[in-house]
């Protein structure tokens, strides 16, 4: 049996469901998910391996108009993630409507890349009746995609079709990663991302965008994993919000994150969270370097 293997770049504007799609295609959680734009801050590789194929998905940050140095660097990641790939999947959001932002992503990162491109029209589970037809047409009007695939990353609709179309376009070749790997993200980064995901879901307002998470220490002993992580914010006022009255917000983040980390590691977890201020880190090149961006 001939094995097909290759790299598929998954891209689109913010909040169209790229990470949810990659997690669904890989079969487990490799990228954090939130309803807030710019949740993904790294070029995350999710790996799906079967006896017939290995697909390496790159889940990219949403391409957007940057307001900070961090935003500019995230946009650069999208460009880097589309070079040297075998297939591009542009994800669009049928519920929000296919529009100018999607056209901009197509022009910048899909057109003239010299590789097959597929448009995945996502969130069709949120539309009623015949409302999906105009969105599928709008997606087709963006440009010369080889396929337009209606999907729901959440319900699983259309994912089997999308997978088949991707595999057909992959070159024959050896696997790029060992068969048991599902991501190339280091463990400490995966744990930090799980903490950040819960911070995003626990807090409202603009504070979540100002949060970065760093795992400082990771120790396992007698079936218990101790994780020490720091939530980095930009201003003293944000520190108070993250901690909450009597530590309530930080405790809620910790409780939720611990459950996610225990599910990933398969051990009991003691999670120690701290909060630190790093002034305007999203605009500071040295701070971005220290935080891994």
The yes-or-no verdict on residue 274 having pLDDT over 90 is: yes
CATH of domain 187-290: 3.30.300.20
Q: Residues with Cβ < 8 Å from 139, sequence gap 6 or more?
A: 92, 98, 102, 119, 121, 145, 148
pLDDT at 38: 53
What residue ranges in 210-281 does DSSP mark as E strands?
212-221, 224-233, 268-277
Rounded distance between C-alpha atoms, residue 8 and residue 110, angstroms: 12
Q: What is the DSSP letter of 108?
A: I
Q: Tell me, what's the pLDDT at 281?
A: 74
pLDDT of residue 44: 65
Q: Which residues of 27-65 are buried (b: 16+ CB within 10 A; e: fewer)?
A: eebbbbbbeeebbbbbbbbbbbbeeebbbbbbbbbbbbe
Identify the CATH number of the domain defined by range 4-168.
3.40.50.300
Q: What is the average pLDDT across 115-143?
A: 92
The full set of domain ranges for the chain reads 4-168, 187-290
Q: Which residue has the higher pLDDT, 130 or 275?
A: 275
Range from 62-66, 210-214, 271-275 carrying the lowest mean pLDDT: 62-66
Asked whether 152 and 125 are in contact (CB, 8 A), the reply is: yes
| Percent of the chain topping pLDDT 70 | 85
What is 206-219 written as a DSSP string? SGGGG-EEEEEEEE
**What pTM does this model have?**
0.77
Mean pLDDT of the chain: 85
What's the pLDDT score for residue 76?
A: 57
Name the band, by pLDDT with cuts 50, 70 and 90, for residue 293.
low
When pLDDT is averaged across residues 28-37 and rounded to a whole number, the result is 67
Predicted confidence (pLDDT) per residue in 89-109, tens digit: 999 999 999 999 999 899 988
Give the residues across from 212 on adjacent strands.
Answer: 232
């Amino acid at each position: 049996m001939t094995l097909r293997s290759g790299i598929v770049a998954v891209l689109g504007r913010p909040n169209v469901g790229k990470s949810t799609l990659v997690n669904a295609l890989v079969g487990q959680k490799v990228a954090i998910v939130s309803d807030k734009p710019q949740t993904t801050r790294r070029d995350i590789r999710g790996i799906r391996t079967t006896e017939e194929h290995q697909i390496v998905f790159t889940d990219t940050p949403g391409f957007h108009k940057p307001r900070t140095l961090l935003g500019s660097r995230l946009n650069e990641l999208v460009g880097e993630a589309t070079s040297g790939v075998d297939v591009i999947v542009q994800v669009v959001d049928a519920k929000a409507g296919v529009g100018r932002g999607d056209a901009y992503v197509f022009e910048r990162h899909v057109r003239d890349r010299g590789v097959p491109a597929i448009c995945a029209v996502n969130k069709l589970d949120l539309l009623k009746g015949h409302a999906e037809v105009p969105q599928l047409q709008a997606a087709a009007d963006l440009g010369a995609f080889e396929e337009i695939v209606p999907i729901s990353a959440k319900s699983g609709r259309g994912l089997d079709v999308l997978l088949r179309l991707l595999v057909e376009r992959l070159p024959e070749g050896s696997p790029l990663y060992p068969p048991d790997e599902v991501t190339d993200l280091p463990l400490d980064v995966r744990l930090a991302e799980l903490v950040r995901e819960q911070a995003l879901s626990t807090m409202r307002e603009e504070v979540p965008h100002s949060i970065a998470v760093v795992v400082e220490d990771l120790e396992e002993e007698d079936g218990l994993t101790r994780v020490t992580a720091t939530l980095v914010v930009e201003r003293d006022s944000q520190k108070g919000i993250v901690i909450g009255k009597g530590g309530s917000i930080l405790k809620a983040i910790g409780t939720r994150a611990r459950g996610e980390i225990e599910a990933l590691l398969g051990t009991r977890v003691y999670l120690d969270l701290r909060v630190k201020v790093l002034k305007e880190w999203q605009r500071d090149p040295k701070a971005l370097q220290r935080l891994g961006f």
